[in-house]
Amino acid sequence: MAEPYHLFVGGYGGCIYTLEFTPPSQGKKATLTETRPSSGGEGSTVVKSAGAAPTWLTLSSDRAYLYATDEWNEPQGLLTAYKVDPKTLALKKLSTVSSLGMWPCHSSLLEHTHPRKFVSTNYKGSSIVVHQVKEDGDFDSEVETVVHSLAERGTPGPHSWRQTQQHPHEAHVDRTAKVLVVSDLGTDDLRVYLISPSGTLTHHVDVALTPSSGPRHVAFSPPTVSRSTLYVLNELSNSVSVFRVTYADNEASTPSFELLQDSISTLPDAPKGTQSPFERWHASEIKVHPSGKWLYIANRAEDHDPLNGTKEGENDSVAIFPIDIDTGKVEPKGRKLIDCGGRGPRHFAFSTESKRERKGGDGEEDLWVAIAVHDSDEVVLSKVKEEDGTWEEMARLDGLGRPGIALWV
């Protein structure tokens, strides 16, 4: 029998859910269920103490601590730390601190520094914030929090209403764990920081993108590929930019970025059925296949409405690009579009991102992808086909509070 996987799911409904996915095995179909449903409360597997909109979740590598960002608290967002029960995965709240800015939308845990640091991006607050983390996983309230304000840097892009100010959307740690890349949707550039052994961030370089691109998220080529390549998802232009990353020495102290490809469209030839015009499409997530062979980008065909999305209408798509392993470039002519399983895919992740050591058995050689389909209010589990990288749906679960992230445990 296949060993089950688990996921934490957060979103705009004010809850964190714990799901169990059991792959198909011995003639039985795959299942996706909510573990120990309850009405909430301390220790429950349905947690309601993470604020109004826990839209991003970060799990420590030992699976001992989970961190949630509350995007909607006013006037400043909130960050909550949880202790994860190793057996039941129930979450025990440790503390909640301010994000020191509005709309925290992404976070990363720096585990290779001493002490550990927690980095969050305030989309509307135009800042990157660094909290110190204690040995017990909680935020260290006795140490001053460091705020890197972006309000005075760069020039907002030309987009009439999405680029009126700086909008850091992601703080992504590279595969060396020594470089932090912050994508600024408001200024059409990437702000690159060096991470010191103590967790101090030092600005290194800004990487410019085409005006009105609106960079949202980035993805690096996996460790299985010798050449380091950075792929940038541009939300406003629904496109991909590709950079070769070169490190000057073994310490990864001075990475440089060379543009290889730009403005590669993720869109189909035309909207279908009831889908909106392309100017209302907003690409949302980007991932590289663990083998490095394919690049995936999720397309959203509607304006993002956190609370009032609907299942009605055409499903959205995921664009798949073949990658030339030798150069890191994507092959635009080889692009495929597949059904994501619903409307409004805000996040997706591969099962290789699970931090759990698995025992092997039926289905262990298979690769799975979890898609948080926000407007449809569902999480969809699909199998990734080895031969061409496309997906085949296995299971789904609805009623999950407008999911914004599906995180493998």
CATH no. for 1-149+344-409 = 2.130.10.10
Beta strands in 64-141 (DSSP E): 65-70, 78-84, 91-98, 104-110, 116-122, 127-133
Residue ranges of the domains in the chain? 1-149+344-409
Q: How far apart are CA 185 and CA 299, in angstroms?
A: 17
Residue with tokens 């932090």, as numbered in its chain: 180
The mean of the pLDDT values for the chain is: 93
319 close to 299: Cβ distance less than 8 angstroms: yes
Residue 338 to residues 1, 7, 298, 299: CA-CA distances in angstroms?
Answer: 30, 23, 10, 10
Q: Other CB atoms closer than 10 Å to residue 239's CB: what's the count?
A: 23
> According to the model, what pLDDT value does residue 250 have?
62
pLDDT one-digit tens code per residue, 68-99:
999 999 999 999 999 999 999 999 999 999 99
Q: Provide the pLDDT confidence category of residue 363 given band limits of 50, 70 and 90.
A: low
| Mean per-residue pLDDT, 48-73 | 96
pLDDT exceeds cutoff 70 at 230: yes
pLDDT one-digit tens code per residue, 109-151:
999 999 999 999 999 999 999 999 999 999 998 898 999 999 8
Q: How far apart are CA 277 and CA 294, in angstroms?
A: 27
- 393 CB-contact burial (10 Å; exposed 0-12 / middle 13-18 / buried 19+): middle
201 close to 183: Cβ distance less than 8 angstroms: no
pLDDT one-digit tens code per residue, 284-313:
999 999 999 999 999 999 766 777 778 888
Q: Which two tokens stand for residue 167?
A: 């909008």
pLDDT one-digit tens code per residue, 175-193:
999 999 999 999 999 999 9
Q: By percentage, how much of the chain surpasses pLDDT 70? A: 94
pLDDT higher at 36 or 260: 260
pTM of the model: 0.95
Look at strands 229-234 and 215-220 and give their pairing: antiparallel
- Residues in CB range of 387: below 8 A, 6 or more apart: none
